[in-house]
Structure 1
Amino acid sequence: MMMTERGMVAPVAGGSVLAQFDDVLAAAAPELVGHVQAVKFDADTGRLGVVPDASAYGTKLRWCARKLVTAANAKVQGANVRTLHVLAPAAGKAGPATAAAALDRQPAAPAGPVRTRETVSDGYCRALAAHREAMPPRLADPAIVQAVERQNRALRELSRQAFPKPDAVEDTPARLQRRRQAAATEAAALRRARAEKAGRQVAASQRLEQTA
């Protein structure tokens, strides 16, 4: 890292990789010699940018990228090439000037809008709108509508019977009798509790008198 920061090794290694790239191609992929040009090497990331003169050679480069990286590190001592970045094919034979220009132009956004699956033509939209307008409205079958209404009424009636409102419940004789029994039981329990409490108080006063 110290040598790289001081510029002692990285520029030399990068220049050597670019200068000896044809030898790397000859050793790893001889069929690409003369059709690929190395244009840039980033010593910090270890990325080597190359430009083919046709898309077919670019595909071949991607297939043998690992082999080329290994050959570059073997040919150039201290190169430390990690990845191979294949750029867009250049027009004609890839030279240093045209390849560098392609490297600078690559990140630029496309001039026109990118067509995706969500992009539809105006003609399709007009045809779809006309088709929807021409379609006849769907009419529901009266018999089906009546059946649905009858079913809803039956469900509401069942719900009303299963869960009646408190105000709507009538006081039947049985309910009145149960209420009277409950009130009598409660009154008897209260009387018994009062009597027991009075008995405990009398017993406590008697014990106090005996103690005194």
Structure 2
Amino acid sequence: MAFDADTGRLGVAPTPPPTARKLRWSAPKLVAAANEKVRGTNVRTLHVLAPAFVKAGPATATADPAPLTVPAAPMQRRIPPDGYHRAIEAHRQAARPPRVDPAIAQAVERQTAAMRELSRRAFPEPDVAADDAPASIEATRDTA
């Protein structure tokens, strides 16, 4: 695509993506071959651009790439058709409710209660002053 003589950067735009990958892998060999083939140039780096799906020729090699266009407004989502909503509702109605074994549910409740009790013992609640009244400094020093 272009060569910058000041920086020694050679920009190439391959056609298919696999070619771009291959160019990146063999960049050192290509830089050496370019310097050997064309005397007076000093290619230091190879800059592989995004794959171009246009056939590069003399007219496209000298032209600047077209700037990217950004849409003026964000795209709006389409509203799903009524059939989509009916299908989702039919699926929800046809889905079986989860079966819960009462013995397992009771065991879970017992275990949760036991864990809460252990937590209360390990981390007791501090005495709270009534009505959010400020505590005295002496009471604060005694608890610390």
TM-score, structure 2 normalization: 0.45
Structure with the bigger percentage of helix: 1
TM-score, structure 1 normalization: 0.34
